[in-house]
Amino acid sequence: MAKNQPFKAIHPRQLRWQSVWQRLTQPSHLIQDVSLRRKAALLSGLLLLIFALETLSIIFRVVFFPDYQLSLRPLVIVLLLGSIYLLSRTHYYQIAAIVTAFFYPVVVFTVVLSGTSPIPELPLMGLMISLVIGNLLLTIPGLVALGVFNIAATIIVVWLVPENFPHINLVPAIILFNTIAAILAIVSRCMYQNIERDRLAMLRESEERFRELAENIKEVFWVITPGVETIEYVSPTIEQVWGHPASEFYKNPAIFLQSIHPDDRETVVKPRLKRQALGEPTYHEYRIVHPDGTIRWIWDRGFPLKDETGQVYRVMGIAEDITERKQADQQLHDNEKLLRAVAEQFPRAYLSVINIDLTVGFTSGQEFKRHQIDPKMFIGLHVRDIFGAYGDEEAVEAIIAAYNQTFAGQEQCFERSLGGEHLLFETRPLVNEQDEIHQILTVVQNITERKQAETALRQSEERFSKVFSASPDALFLSRMRDGYIVDVSKSVEQLFGYSRSELIGLSTTGKNLYANADDRFELVRQLQQHGSLQDYEIVAQRKSGELRRLTTSIELIELDGEPHMISSVRDVTEQKQIEAQLAYHAYILENLAEGLNYVDDQGIIRFTNPAFDAMFGYERGEVIGQPISIVNDLPPEENEKFVANVLTILQTKGLWEGEFLNRKKDGTPMVTQARVQALTLGEQSYWVTFQQDVTERKRAEAALRESEARYRALYNHSPVMMHSFDAAGRLVSVSDYWLEVMGYEREEVIGQPATNYLTKEAQRFALQVAIPEFKKTGHVKDIPFQFVKKNGEIIDILLSAVAEYDKDGNFERSMAVLIDVTERNQLEEQLRQAQKMEAVGQLTAGIAHDFNNLLTAINGFAELTKLALPPSDPLTRNIAKILHSGQLAANLISQLMIFSHKQIVDPQVLNLNEVVDQTDKLLRRIIGEHIDLKTANFPALWPVKVDRTQLEQIIVNLAVNARDAMPEGGQLTIETANLVLDETTSRAGYLQMTPGDYVQLIVRDTGIGMSQAIQARIFEPFFTTKARGRGTGLGLATVYGIVKQSGGQIRVCSEVGQGTTFKIYLPRVREPGPSPSPAVDSMALPTGSETILLVEDDEGVRGLVSRILEMQGYTVLAAYDGQEALQLAAHHSGNIDLLLTDVVMPGIHGRALAEQLRRTLPNLKILYISGYSDEEIAHHGVLNPGVAFLQKPFKASALTHKLRQVLDVPAPN
């Protein structure tokens, strides 16, 4: 973001053009009055619009009218408009308003004076525009002047050049119109001005209250327009806070951003603009840089104002200078830190600050540490609650009284015993800036030990010798001249092994206290020379003969006028041994394999061991005195942050462990494993660092991580499932795809037995067979298992795995790959089911073909017999029974074809009620007696056009599904109804069907119902919820296809446990339905004299058809198969009019036979007959449009009528 754009917000898209328009019409910031700013913006917008229209008009004429000659006049008008627009953007906008109001009448009159003859509407339009602009922008005197100018100018122009004004007869009307318009404009302006005066008065009163409030609060009040970088208002207080006058912010809003401290801009500006754009309040605390260079803290709150559309049009807020509060907080923090530091210097004491309400405001001290108590737990507690815990109410009241006296200005110092401890209280009042006592400082010292020490001291003063004897140091009082021992402390007994009585009165040499007697003479000589000795080393001999190294400090005193020595002796034998050990340790450091260095608090290297120098490639001692950065490999700024982090951890934990990025002397980068800890030697602090070169190890680790990452990526992103389980059978890892397929989260499965996710049967197989064999052989391949997903779904898995063993050959873990073959198994099962259904269909079709042939002969001969008998013959009743049973058998064969999906499609106009009634008995046999079947037929049902067999298939399939949904019994209802869909109901709930008339077939059951998920898939091919082997999943898919093929729609409505309803909508047809065929006798059968070539491989059908045709007058040439038919045709001398042939025959099939015969008999007509299914017939091309076909079994009447129909059609060309 540019530095001069502090408030440029990213607005929503719909505000971008609004923002551009505001920029183009923004008035001068010198115009403060809101009403005047509104008028100025209106004027600028109006002029900009007129300027754009005039410019586009000129461009349009130049581009689209080649004969147009561009003159100077339109260009001058455009330039004048542009100049006036620019003038309106300044604080001289009123001049622009006057010029704009007078512009159009001047232009119109100039045009008239120049000789152009305008139409009457032009002056009227110009005068009207002038008055409208004047009414909006001018005052009442200006508006009067404009009206007078318009009238006078009209009269003068007409008077001067009447010949240029052809419509002279309209001048009085123009003048009158202009006069009335001017009067109306003035009246409306006066009314508006009165209203505006009242509004402005109220506005001025509101603004005065606002300004009085804004200019008298110490906070800065500001108002901005988002998106256009404009400050609408800022209170004068801003000069005291920001150091800039308010006028500078109006001129240059960028001062806001420039004043914000550079470290705070990113954290303030972007979040602020983002929240403003979203219409949300903003709260920010940031620093500003005052012009005098000082830093001030600001607490800034902004609140968006939204219009009726919800868009932010203004943001107002308050900025508060909280510098003093920040400083006070910092001062309070520093004071607490100081008090805490002071309190730490008081041994066995508490330092507290007590508030005026006798609550604790601050407390600290060494005594808290000694008792391991957190002093913060006392903050805010009343002193009565604290000291009352001791149970001494009198002492508590005395303490409170002393505190109150301190608040009265009297310092207190007193002692009190509480809980068996003696406490010394010292209190002093603390005053604030108003010189008022608001707190007291109290120091409570635990002087119990001091009191005890004073008592002991008084007692010991009476027994000085005992004190001398009990001195912790070994003290000798001896005569300098001969070493006569006057007295010794008790510690001497411990040091030398002699009792006090054994030493007093003897010489120091008498008991051989010196290992070398000459040592005493040298000691005396040194004492005489220096007057005293400090830490003089000697070798002494204990009573046991053991030699000890001692140091003695000796002062000379006179007793009885003779110099005596007071000697303080300390055993430094162990110390010397330690020093020897230190020397040994120094040797170890010099030969340590790890690099060691000491760095002082200035970052200068003060010591290195040889390993450090060798590690970094330096000569011994070469880096001593150099800054530690000489071996670091970090940029200076990163190094500073790193060092600061290390120091922080050292100050809190005392030890830092991690890695350093270093470089050798030759520039080679190096990674070291480092340990850093603090060390104080005397008054100097050091950071001791042990380092070990781990560069090669880090490279190896990086390579290992890369390898592991590749393995992990392969493991997790493989398109197959993978898992691993340990020796106990618990899952230790699973791939992402495993989790995706099974539906679990990783935390749910890790640590669980792998067999938990198998079916019960698969668990037994795994535990008893597969896992023991796997652990024994170490591998398995393509073992089938059934896994159970989290949602309960069972999937088929092929599992292959290898085992991993530990160094002792024990099974450690497995690595298994699992392939989900559920879909493959389902597809294979569906294929088997489809093949089984296909086999059943083929068997059914074959049986149907044979039955059709038999029924054709049975029914045909029975029909002929009936026709040959007189109606009164008793045998006619028997024949009728035969015909009835034959028809039932034919219907049964048709229904078998439905199940095998082999029926021939023959759309015909029919009534759904008849089909429902005819399938009633079949449905009852299918669904069983445990289901109650009910039908409800609409009485005046409209006809539909659909294949009867397919419609029966729909009803049967839906009935079978309903039966399977009611294993315990229930009710199946089949209804029919008429439905009229208009535009509204079509869109509302009927699958977006085309409006019109429909016939409904409703199949409703009271079964188990379906979930929404199942409903979404029921029409998918091969989708089924039945057990394996119970269904192919093709039933509802077939129903859906038949309904769609018939131009209808199907809808399902179901809830689990509430049953299912299928609604089928078939379009109504206007064609009349087939009328019932009257019974025909032999006299009604059509006759003919043509020659018919009959080809039929079934002897019974062939004999029947031959007899029927011959009875009706036809000449019949009968053949068994196609080859015989060709021979008969070749030897027949006469004409053959029609070929009546079976479709499927041995040798040459019917269609091939017809094609061969038509080569020699082009006018031969063809009629096919067959008892096979539609699929078999369609394979031979017989069901093509225009091909005559008759399905077996058929009646004699059907045959003769169909034959006559084909013969009567004109022969093909």
Q: For the segment 246-271, what is each residue's pLDDT rounded down to a tens digit?
A: 888 888 888 888 888 888 888 888 88
pLDDT at 973 over 90: yes
CA distances from 879 to 29, 539, 1105 (A): 115, 153, 19
Place of tokens 């400050």: 231
Query: What is the CA 919 to chain-centroid distance, rounded?
Result: 57
Burial state string for 524-545 with b = 16 or more CB within 10 A and e = fewer than 16: eeebeeeeebeebebebbbeee
Tokens standing for 796?
A: 């088929």
pLDDT score at 188: 60
The one-letter code for the residue type at 152 is A
Separation between Cα atoms, residue 33 and residue 30, nearest integer Å: 9
pLDDT score at 1065: 93
Compute the Cα dihedral for 394, 400, 403, 405 and give only its sign: negative
Q: How confident is the model at residue 461 (pLDDT cuts 50, 70, 90)?
A: very low
pLDDT score at 1084: 66
pLDDT score at 117: 47
Separation between Cα atoms, residue 1138 and residue 1205, nearest integer Å: 12
Does residue 520 contact residue 509 with C-beta atoms inside 8 Å?
Answer: yes
pLDDT at 786 over 90: yes
Q: The domain at 912-1072 falls in which architecture? A: 2-Layer Sandwich (3.30)
Does residue 853 contact residue 1185 with C-beta atoms inside 8 Å?
Answer: no
Average pLDDT (18-37) is: 65
Tokens standing for 119?
A: 């139409």
pLDDT score at 890: 72
Dump pLDDT digits (tens) for 1059-1116. 999 999 999 998 776 554 444 444 468 899 999 999 998 888 899 899 999 999 999 9
pLDDT at 718 over 50: yes
327-454 and 725-820, same CATH topology: yes
DSSP label at residue 990: S
Burial state string for 28-56 with b = 16 or more CB within 10 A and e = fewer than 16: ebebeeeeebebbbbbbbbbbebbeebee
Q: The domain at 591-699 falls in which architecture? A: 2-Layer Sandwich (3.30)
Q: Please, which residues bridge with residue 1168 across strands?
A: 1141, 1189
Per 3-state DSSP, the chain is made up of helix, strand and coil in percentages (nearest 5) of 50, 25, 30
CATH topology of domain 464-576: Beta-Lactamase (3.30.450)
Does residue 1082 contact residue 863 with C-beta atoms inside 8 Å?
Answer: no
Average pLDDT (366-373) is: 69
The one-letter code for the residue type at 230 is T
Separation between Cα atoms, residue 944 and residue 954, nearest integer Å: 15
Separation between Cα atoms, residue 799 and residue 725, nearest integer Å: 13
- List phi, psi (to 5°) of 662: -120, 175
pLDDT score at 798: 93
CATH superfamily of 725-820: PAS domain (3.30.450.20)
Separation between Cα atoms, residue 1042 and residue 984, nearest integer Å: 27
Tokens standing for 665?
A: 């002397």
Q: Is 3.40.630.30 the CATH number for 1091-1208? A: no
CA distances from 854 to 151, 867, 1100 (A): 114, 20, 7
The burial of 1022, by beta-carbon neighbours within 10 Å (0-12 exposed, 13-18 middle, 19 or more buried), is given as: middle
Query: What is the CA 477 to chain-centroid distance, rounded?
Result: 89
pLDDT score at 977: 94
Enumerate residues 6+ apart whose C-beta is below 8 A from 730. 751, 752, 753, 754
pLDDT score at 119: 52
Q: What percent of the chain has pLDDT over 90?
A: 13
Give the CA count within 13 Å in the CB-facing half-sphere of 725: 19
Q: How confident is the model at residue 315 (pLDDT cuts 50, 70, 90)?
A: confident
pLDDT score at 432: 76
Task: Kindly give the residue spans of alpha helices, DSSP state H, lying in 920-1070.
Answer: 920-927, 948-964, 983-989, 1012-1015, 1035-1045
Separation between Cα atoms, residue 779 and residue 1123, nearest integer Å: 67
1064 compared with 776, residue with greater pLDDT:
1064
The burial of 137, by beta-carbon neighbours within 10 Å (0-12 exposed, 13-18 middle, 19 or more buried), is given as: buried
Enumerate residues 6+ apart whose C-beta is below 8 A from 194. none
The one-letter code for the residue type at 229 is E
In angstroms, the first-to-last Cα distance of the chain is 87
The one-letter code for the residue type at 267 is T
Nearest to 298 by CA among 213, 219, 216, 215: 219
Separation between Cα atoms, residue 303 and residue 763, nearest integer Å: 66
Lowest mean pLDDT among 1-5, 479-483, 820-824, 1043-1047: 1-5
Enumerate residues 6+ apart whose C-beta is below 8 A from 76. none
Does residue 1200 contact residue 1085 with C-beta atoms inside 8 Å?
Answer: yes
Separation between Cα atoms, residue 96 and residue 783, nearest integer Å: 94
Dump pLDDT digits (tens) for 919-939. 888 888 888 889 999 999 999
Verify cis geometry, omega within 30 degrees of 0, for the bond prior to 66: no
Average pLDDT (518-525) is: 85
Separation between Cα atoms, residue 118 and residue 111, nearest integer Å: 8
Does residue 876 contact residue 869 with C-beta atoms inside 8 Å?
Answer: yes
DSSP count for the chain of H helices, then E strands: 41, 37
Q: How confident is the model at residue 403 (pLDDT cuts 50, 70, 90)?
A: confident
Enumerate residues 6+ apart whose C-beta is below 8 A from 876. 866, 869, 870
CA distances from 384 to 351, 360, 455 (A): 17, 11, 31
Average pLDDT (981-994) is: 64
The Cβ of residue 392 has, within 10 Å, a number of other Cβ atoms equal to 16
Separation between Cα atoms, residue 594 and residue 590, nearest integer Å: 10
Separation between Cα atoms, residue 633 and residue 667, nearest integer Å: 9
* Residues present in the chain in total: 1213
CATH superfamily of 223-321: PAS domain (3.30.450.20)
CA distances from 1077 to 299, 465, 914 (A): 100, 153, 15
pLDDT score at 174: 60
Nearest to 945 by CA among 1076, 1069, 1041, 1074: 1069
Separation between Cα atoms, residue 1003 and residue 1037, nearest integer Å: 16
- List phi, psi (to 5°) of 539: -115, 120
pLDDT score at 12: 41
- List phi, psi (to 5°) of 811: -60, 130
Q: How confident is the model at residue 1007 (pLDDT cuts 50, 70, 90)?
A: very high
Dump pLDDT digits (tens) for 751-771. 999 999 999 999 999 999 888
Separation between Cα atoms, residue 1025 and residue 1027, nearest integer Å: 7
pLDDT at 820 over 50: yes
The one-letter code for the residue type at 1171 is G
pLDDT score at 841: 63
pLDDT score at 516: 82
pLDDT score at 944: 94
932 compared with 637, residue with greater pLDDT:
932
Helix (H, G, I), strand (E, B) or coil at 90: coil
pTM of the model: 0.35
Separation between Cα atoms, residue 279 and residue 299, nearest integer Å: 20
Does residue 1066 contact residue 946 with C-beta atoms inside 8 Å?
Answer: yes
Tokens standing for 906?
A: 């023959």
Q: Which range has the top average pLDDT, 375-379, 585-589, 666-670, 787-791?
A: 787-791
Q: How confident is the model at residue 731 (pLDDT cuts 50, 70, 90)?
A: very high
Domain boundaries, the chain: 31-202, 223-321, 327-454, 464-576, 591-699, 725-820, 912-1072, 1091-1208
Enumerate residues 6+ apart whose C-beta is below 8 A from 1061. 1002, 1003, 1004, 1005, 1052, 1053, 1054
Average pLDDT (500-517) is: 78
pLDDT score at 519: 83
Nearest to 1051 by CA among 996, 994, 1003, 997: 1003
Average pLDDT (89-98) is: 73
Task: Kindly give the residue spans of alpha helices, DSSP state H, lying in 65-92.
Answer: 72-88
Q: Is 3.30.450.20 the CATH number for 327-454? A: yes
Average pLDDT (529-540) is: 87
DSSP label at residue 307: -
pLDDT score at 171: 58
